[in-house]
Amino acid sequence: MKLTNRWNRFVYRLWAPVYDALLERLFHPGRVAAFRLLGLRPGERVLLVGVGTGADLPLLPEGVEAVGIDLSPDMLRRAGAKLPLPGRRVTLLQGDAQALLVPAAGFDAAVLNLILSVVPDGNACLQAAAQALKPGGRMVVFDKFLPDRGRLSPLRRLLNGFSTLFGTDINRRFGEISRGCGCVVLAEEPSLLGGVYRVILLQRTS
């Protein structure tokens, strides 16, 4: 099964009430590592792509301005319940992260935590985020990826058919997703599940 926006709206309506309780303890260390690598500073504007239930919001340092985007209105309602946050200006927008929904070159940084394996087209999502960055701006990705080399086994294909029912693709490769995004990788760290999840810091070059 291929992921679609229609399916994701349905699945994440079901996930919204239980997402934080079931999954946030697992994903929290990866989110913390992502923000550490990104190194946000007071006065910067940051785009949170796929903000979901707002699990990243408490990690924003004071003095930053953030815009969070998500396709699911149900997930956004959960994020909105975490606001306001003292010392931070946060705006939430509903929309498709595969398109540029904010002014181009308007952000110092972007956070893409657990979104590139969820959207139907990860490359389109990453390119839209890159376009939102100022030249030299940086973004961080925390997600699960296959190694860029190696064949996809029949078992992995079968498992992915199951995982997409829950709104995530386990067979994506970052090298393919990042093709043509106009960014370079500055740093990369293994994260959860023995490095199945990775944290990747990029910088816009064009």
Side chain identity, residue 55? A
Q: What does the pLDDT read at residue 206?
A: 79
Quickly tell me which residue has 């829950």 as its tokens: 166
Cα 23 from Cα 50, distance rounded (Å): 16
Query: Is the model's pLDDT at 73 over the cut of 90?
Result: yes
What percent of the chain lies above the pLDDT cut of 70? 100
- 3-class DSSP string for 105-129: CCEEEEEEECCCCCCCCHHHHHHHH
Average pLDDT, stretch 22-48?
97
Query: Is the model's pLDDT at 79 over the cut of 90?
Result: yes
Question: 85-89 long-range CB contacts below 8 Å, 24 or more apart?
Answer: 85/57, 85/58, 85/60, 86/62, 87/62, 87/63, 88/57, 88/60, 88/61, 88/62, 88/63, 88/64, 89/64, 89/65
Average pLDDT, stretch 38-43?
98
Mean pLDDT over each residue of the chain, to the nearest integer: 96
Average pLDDT, stretch 20-45?
97
pLDDT digits over 129-188, tens only?
999 999 999 999 999 999 998 787 888 888 898 899 999 999 999 999 999 999 999 999
9: tokens are 């709206």
Average pLDDT, stretch 46-66?
98
Please tell us whether the domain made up of 5-204 is placed in CATH 2.30.42.10. Answer: no
Query: Is the model's pLDDT at 118 over the cut of 80?
Result: yes
Q: What does the pLDDT read at residue 162?
A: 87
Average pLDDT, stretch 2-31?
97
